[in-house]
Amino acid sequence: NISSKRTIRQQDPFWQMFGLAPRNRVEGSLGSGVIVRADGVIVTNNHVIEGGTDITVSLSDRREFQAKVLLADTRTDLAILKIDVPAGEKLPVMAIADRSDIEVGDLVLAIGDPFGVGQTVTNGIISAKNRTANPDGDAGAYIQTDAAINPGNSGGALVSMDGDLIGVNSFIYSQSGQSSGIGFAIPAAVVRRVVETAMNGGQTVVRPWFGARLQSVTPEIAKTMGLATPSGALVADVWPGGAASKAGVKQGDVVTSVDGEAVVDAAALNYAIGNHRPGETVRVAVRRDKAEHPLTMQAEAAPAVPARDEKVIAGRNPFQGATVVNLSPAVAEEVGIDPFGRAGVLVTKTAAGVAQQLGVQPGDIIRAVNGRDIKSVTDLSSAVVAPAPVWQVTIERNGHQLTATFRT
């Protein structure tokens, strides 16, 4: 069992009427975890411990330990924790499966601590593999199971009949909030990458980037291109000098397989590439001019060009208190947005200040200030250095352009 507590600063209008300071409220969350190293390294879901300042791990023998976070990765929703066990003691470990030969119909066990009642085991089968939440995005490729998974099971183990960890239970599909037989687990290959990164001292997981804008093949696209089935990832654009470009991938190609495994959609391709380590060789097959072409590419991280140039905006202007960075493929991959848009400046967070008061949000892309195009942090700094009675700003939010005028 893993419990996490975080303090929320609560603005209460009733207390403010009497001039009293905001009160602090403590929120808690419960989840499960898996011991993957005998010295006390534990895997769980990031959402179980996110924002927590007090994380407690309870073992099945009821001993409790305070845990520290070695790595927390929001994109995979995995976190690696470490507890200090008594000298000379080796905790029991669940081995991470080193093969991905699981099949639909295989028997599995879901082990966790639902509702905090204690260690609980449920059984079921693998209902589907490579299940994606967004076929055109980078939402991962989950293992779907009908083993009962309930609140508190998050971060627990999905186990094969060989006793190996094949996945970490992450979320369920339910209209009631209780198990309805549709649960999703993060595959072992992803878990292994995150654990390796944490053990090597990394704070972020570096994922190779295919280097192209992708679109899942629809029945209409398949018919137009003469494909027998609507599967694969259509290359809509190629990043100059990126991994795909170097390998010979061209606009209009359909990627059909990676390392011999069929590519179902764009998300499956991103997942397959992202599971490699930078520098590894990847075998890719593309369909071009009604023929299959085998290609070889080197797995590479998304380029951080232009450099981040992170800055907190100061002064009396609409972006005061906002932290901004230059938009690059690396930054776009980090936050999960399309890197093929034109250059711009991304808001990564906001603190107390004008930006927060005006509703500027993390993820906003600043496009223009007082009629001046903003293509870099340097452009933004120059545009807001001098005070102005009126500010007209244009930002891009969730693919939509928003223009507003403010007076200061």
Structural domain count, the chain: 4
Domain assignment present for residue 17? The answer is yes
Q: Would you give the end-to-end CA distance of the chain in angstroms? A: 51
Quote the distance between the C-alpha of residue 89 and its chain's center. 34
Residues 320 and 361 in one domain: yes
Asked if residue 5 has pLDDT above 90, the reply is no
Tokens of 204: 């972020």
Residues 315 and 403 in one domain: yes
Q: Cα(45)–Cα(328) distance, rounded to whole angstroms? A: 28
Tokens of 71: 């790595």
Tokens of 28: 């808690």
Taking a C-beta distance cutoff of 8 angstroms, is the pair 270, 213 a contact? no
Task: Please report the DSSP string for 121-148 in residue order.
Answer: EEEEEEEEEEE-S-TTTT---EEEE-S-
- Predicted confidence at residue 75, as pLDDT, reads 86
Residues 10 and 60 in one domain: yes
Domain assignment present for residue 339? The answer is yes
Taking a C-beta distance cutoff of 8 angstroms, is the pair 59, 99 a contact? no
- Predicted confidence at residue 14, as pLDDT, reads 53
Q: Is 334 helix (H, G, I), strand (E, B) or coil?
A: helix
Structure confidence at residue 199 as a pLDDT band (50, 70, 90): very high
Q: Cα(119)–Cα(1) distance, rounded to whole angstroms? A: 8
7 DSSP β-pair partners: 26
Domain around 8: 2-83
Asked if residue 32 has pLDDT above 90, the reply is yes
Q: What is the pTM of this model?
A: 0.80
Taking a C-beta distance cutoff of 8 angstroms, is the pair 338, 328 a contact? no
Of 252, 99, 226, 123, the closest CA to residue 179 belongs to 123
Over residues 148-174, mean pLDDT: 92
Length, in residues, of the chain: 408
Residues 321 and 400 in one domain: yes
Structure confidence at residue 15 as a pLDDT band (50, 70, 90): low
Q: Which tens digits make up the pLDDT trace of 61-114?
A: 989 999 999 999 988 899 999 999 999 999 999 999 987 789 999 999 999 998
Residues 171 and 240 in one domain: no
Q: Cα(266)–Cα(138) distance, rounded to whole angstroms? A: 8
Residues 221 and 186 in one domain: no
Reduced 3-state DSSP string for 253-297:
CEEEEECCEECCCHHHHHHHHHCCCCCCEEEEEEEECCEEEEEEE
Domain assignment present for residue 304? The answer is no
- Predicted confidence at residue 9, as pLDDT, reads 60
Over residues 272-292, mean pLDDT: 93
Structure confidence at residue 131 as a pLDDT band (50, 70, 90): confident
Please enumerate in sequence order all residues whose Cβ is within 8 A of that of 245, keeping only pairs 6 or more positions apart, or say none. 211, 212, 238, 239
Asked if residue 245 has pLDDT above 90, the reply is yes
Q: Residue 342 belongs to a domain with what CATH number?
A: 2.30.42.10
Of 298, 327, 350, at which residue does a domain stop? Answer: 298
For strands 233-238 and 212-216, give the pairing. antiparallel
Domain assignment present for residue 93? The answer is no
Q: Could you give the percent of the chain with pLDDT greater than 70? A: 92
Of 311, 305, 373, the closest CA to residue 339 belongs to 305
Tokens of 322: 């906002």
Q: Cα(308)–Cα(345) distance, rounded to whole angstroms? A: 9
Task: Give the number of other CB atoms < 10 A from CB of residue 373.
Answer: 13
Residue owning tokens 């992708």: 214
Local structure of residue 356 (DSSP, 8 states): H
Local structure of residue 178 (DSSP, 8 states): S
Taking a C-beta distance cutoff of 8 angstroms, is the pair 207, 301 a contact? yes
Radius of gyration of the chain (CA): 24
- Predicted confidence at residue 116, as pLDDT, reads 81
Q: Cα(328)–Cα(303) distance, rounded to whole angstroms? A: 7
Taking a C-beta distance cutoff of 8 angstroms, is the pair 363, 337 a contact? yes
Taking a C-beta distance cutoff of 8 angstroms, is the pair 300, 209 a contact? yes
Residues 192 and 225 in one domain: no
Residues 188 and 217 in one domain: no
Domain assignment present for residue 204? The answer is no
C-alpha distances (whole Å) from 160 to each of 97, 123, 166, 167 are: 9, 10, 6, 9
Q: Cα(208)–Cα(363) distance, rounded to whole angstroms? A: 22
Any idea which residues carry the catalytic annotation? 47, 77, 154
Domain assignment present for residue 207? The answer is no
Residues 230 and 159 in one domain: no
Domain assignment present for residue 101? The answer is no
Tokens of 170: 């992450």
Of 265, 298, 331, at which residue does a domain stop? Answer: 298
Residues 218 and 172 in one domain: no
Residues 390 and 316 in one domain: yes
Domain assignment present for residue 89? The answer is no
Q: Residue 32 belongs to a domain with what CATH number?
A: 2.40.10.10
- Predicted confidence at residue 8, as pLDDT, reads 61
Residues 112 and 191 in one domain: yes
